[in-house]
C-alpha cells in the first residue's frame, strides 16, 4: 500500500491550505444562512397604503356620503380648491394621485338606473388608484343590484344595506398537504453554499495528488517499480475516494452540528443523498482538472475560476429566483446548478411519495450523469497524454 500511504502523506501536507476553505465555508455559511433564514421567516403580511385623493362633489346626497365613508377605508382625503390649475398642480407635484368629481344630477340619475359617470383625473399607472377604482365599482355595482331587486328603496335604506354588505371581509388561511412542515430554509442555504467549499477542497486535494503522480520523472520511476500498474492505479483511486468521502463527511457533520434541529427529518436524508452524488461529481471535475494542469499555481487559479464561477451563476451564492433566465440557461450546463435546484426542491417537500420526489431524483440523476461524463472525458485525456 505504498502508493496509498504516499497519497495520504501528500494530503496531510496540504491540510493547512484545505482548512482555509473549511473555515471560509463555515463562516460564510453561518452568516449567510442565518441572514437568509431570518429574511425568509419574516411573517408575510399585506398592509394596504392609503392613497391621497381629492374628492369634489357638486351635490350632496346620502348615496355620495356613503361612498365617501367607504373610500375613507383606503384613502386620505386632501382638501384642494376647485380650481383647474390648482388641481393639475396637485397631481403634478404628487400631492394627490387621484381627483374624483361628482357632477350635478349624478345621484338622481343613478337612482333612476340611468347611465352615470364620475369624472376622474389621476396619475398614470398608480397602483393605489386601481384599488380605489375597484372599491368605487364594487360600491355602485352592489347598489345597482339592490335597486334592481327592491322596489321603493330610499337612499338611506340603500346606504345601510351597502354598509352592512361591504363591511364583510374574508379570512384567508394558507394550508399545506400533510403534517405541519419543518422549516428547512437554513439547511437549504447551508447545503447550497456547501457546493463552493466542497468543490474547492476536492479540487485542491485531488489535483495536487495528480500533479505529483503525473510528474514525468516519477512516472518513469514508478514504471520500474515491482508494483503492477493495476495495483498502483487501484491504490491511487482508493486514496482519492477516501479523500472525497472524508471531505464530504466533514462538511456534512458541520452542517448537522449547526442545524441539529432538522437532523431527524426525511428532507435531511435527501439533502445528504444529493450532496453525496455532488461529491462524486466534484471528484470527477477534480480528476479532469488534475489531468490538464501542469503546476500548483495553475491548480489554485483554475480552482478559483471554476468554483466561484459555478457558485455565482448556479444559484449557490445568489438564489436562483433572483438570477436572470439567460444566466440560468448557461448555468444548466454546470453540475452545481442541478445540485442547487435539487436542494431548493427538497427544502419545500412536505410529502415524500414518488410524484413529489420525482423532480429531486431527476436532478440527482442529471448530476450523476455530469459526473460520469466528466470522468470519461478525463480518462480519455489521461490516456492520450500517456502516449504523447
**138-154: per-residue pLDDT in tens?**
988 988 888 888 888 88
Most confident of 3-7, 139-143, 217-221: 139-143
Question: Could you tell me the residue ranges of all domains in the chain?
Answer: 2-39+183-386, 51-165
In this structure, of 27-36, 156-165, 243-252, 254-263, the range with the lowest mean pLDDT score is 27-36
The runs of H, that is alpha helices, within the chain are 2-13, 15-41, 62-71, 84-92, 106-111, 127-149, 155-166, 185-213, 216-223, 229-258, 266-292, 296-314, 325-331, 335-347, 354-386
| pLDDT computed for residue 173 by the predictor | 62
Lowest mean pLDDT among 71-80, 120-129, 243-252: 120-129
Least confident of 4-8, 46-50, 126-130, 192-196: 46-50
Average pLDDT over residues 47-64: 84
Please compute the mean of the pLDDT values over residues 273-279 and round it to a whole number: 91
Residue 316 grid coordinates: 449557490
- The pLDDT value recorded for residue 229 is 67
Cα separation values, 272 from 26, 99, 267, 339, Å? 17, 60, 9, 11
From the number of C-beta atoms within 10 Å of its C-beta (0-12, 13-18, 19+), residue 271 rates as: buried
pLDDT confidence of residue 225: 65
Q: What is the pLDDT of residue 43?
A: 47
Query: Higher-confidence residue: 255 or 150?
Result: 150
Sheet holding 75-77, edge to edge: 75-77, 51-57, 98-102, 119-122
Read out DSSP for 312-373?
HHHTSSS-GGGS-HHHHHHHTTSHHHHHHHHHHHHHT----SHHHHHHHHHHHHHHHHHHHH
Q: What is the pLDDT of residue 362?
A: 93
357-360 contacts at long range (C-beta below 8 A, 24 or more positions apart): 357/270, 360/270, 360/274
Percent of the chain residues past pLDDT 70, beyond the cut: 83
Compute the distance between CA of residue 381 and CA of residue 388 in angstroms, rounded to an integer: 11
Computed over every residue of the chain, the mean pLDDT equals: 80
Q: What does the alpha-carbon distance between residue 113 and residue 117 come to, in Å, rounded to a whole number?
A: 12
The per-residue pLDDT for 207 is 76
Question: Stretch 90-113: mean pLDDT, rounded?
Answer: 87
Contact 310, 334 (CB under 8 A): yes
In DSSP terms, which residues pair with 54 in a beta bridge? 99
The string of pLDDT tens digits covering residues 332-375 is: 999 989 999 998 898 888 888 888 889 999 999 999 999 899 88
| Mean local confidence (pLDDT), 293-297 | 75
| Superfamily of domain covering 51-165 | abc type-2 transporter like domain (3.40.1710.10)
Predicted confidence at residue 38, as pLDDT, reads: 52
> Rounded CA gap, 69 and 66, in Å?
5
Instruction: Look at 95-99, 236-240, 284-288 and tell me which has the smallest mean pLDDT.
Output: 236-240
183 confidence band (pLDDT: 50, 70, 90): low
Segment 90-116 mean pLDDT: 87
Per the listing, cell 384599488 goes with 131
Mean pLDDT of 84-95: 86
Grid cell for residue 220: 518513469
Dihedral sign for Cα 103, 107, 109, 115, please: positive
Strand partners of residue 56? 101
Q: Indicate the pTM of the whole model.
A: 0.62
Amino acid at each position: 500500500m505504498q502508493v496509498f500511504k504516499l497519497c495520504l502523506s501528500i494530503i496531510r501536507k496540504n491540510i493547512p491550505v484545505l482548512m482555509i476553505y473549511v473555515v471560509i465555508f463555515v463562516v460564510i455559511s453561518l452568516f449567510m444562512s442565518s441572514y437568509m433564514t431570518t429574511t425568509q421567516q419574516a411573517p408575510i403580511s399585506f398592509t394596504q397604503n392609503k392613497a391621497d385623493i381629492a374628492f369634489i362633489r357638486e351635490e350632496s346626497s346620502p348615496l355620495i356620503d356613503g361612498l365617501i365613508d367607504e373610500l375613507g377605508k383606503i384613502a386620505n382625503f386632501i382638501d384642494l380648491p376647485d380650481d383647474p390649475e390648482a388641481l393639475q398642480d396637485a397631481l403634478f407635484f404628487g400631492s394627490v394621485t387621484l381627483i374624483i368629481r361628482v357632477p350635478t344630477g349624478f345621484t338622481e340619475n343613478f337612482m333612476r338606473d340611468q347611465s352615470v359617470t364620475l369624472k376622474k383625473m389621476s396619475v398614470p399607472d398608480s397602483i393605489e388608484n386601481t384599488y380605489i377604482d375597484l372599491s368605487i365599482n364594487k360600491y355602485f355595482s352592489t347598489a345597482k343590484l339592490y335597486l334592481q331587486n327592491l322596489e321603493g328603496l330610499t337612499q338611506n335604506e340603500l346606504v345601510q344595506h351597502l354598509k352592512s354588505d361591504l363591511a364583510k371581509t374574508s379570512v384567508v388561511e394558507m394550508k399545506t398537504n400533510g403534517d405541519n412542515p419543518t422549516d428547512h430554509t437554513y439547511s437549504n442555504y447551508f447545503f447550497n453554499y456547501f457546493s463552493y467549499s466542497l468543490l474547492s477542497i476536492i479540487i485542491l486535494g485531488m489535483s495536487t495528488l495528480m500533479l505529483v503522480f503525473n510528474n514525468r520523472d516519477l512516472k518513469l520511476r514508478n514504471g520500474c517499480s515491482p508494483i503492477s500498474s493495476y495495483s498502483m492505479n487501484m491504490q491511487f483511486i482508493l486514496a482519492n475516494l477516501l479523500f472525497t468521502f472524508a471531505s464530504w463527511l466533514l462538511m456534512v457533520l458541520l452542517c448537522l452540528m449547526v442545524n441539529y434541529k432538522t437532523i431527524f427529518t426525511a428532507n435531511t436524508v435527501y439533502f445528504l443523498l444529493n450532496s453525496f452524488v455532488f461529491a462524486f461529481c466534484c471528484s470527477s471535475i477534480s480528476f479532469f482538472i488534475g489531468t490538464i494542469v501542469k503546476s500548483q499555481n495553475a491548480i489554485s487559479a483554475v480552482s478559483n475560476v471554476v468554483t466561484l464561477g459555478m457558485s455565482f451563476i448556479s444559484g449557490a451564492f445568489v438564489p436562483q429566483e433572483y438570477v436572470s433566465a439567460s444566466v440560468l440557461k448557461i448555468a444548466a450546463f454546470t453540475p452545481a446548478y442541478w445540485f442547487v435546484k435539487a436542494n431548493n426542491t427538497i427544502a419545500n417537500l412536505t410529502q415524500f411519495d414518488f410524484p413529489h420526489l420525482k423532480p429531486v431524483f431527476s436532478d440527482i440523476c442529471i448530476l450523476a450523469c455530469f459526473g460520469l461524463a466528466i470522468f470519461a472525458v478525463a480518462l480519455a485525456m489521461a490516456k492520450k497524454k500517456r502516449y504523447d
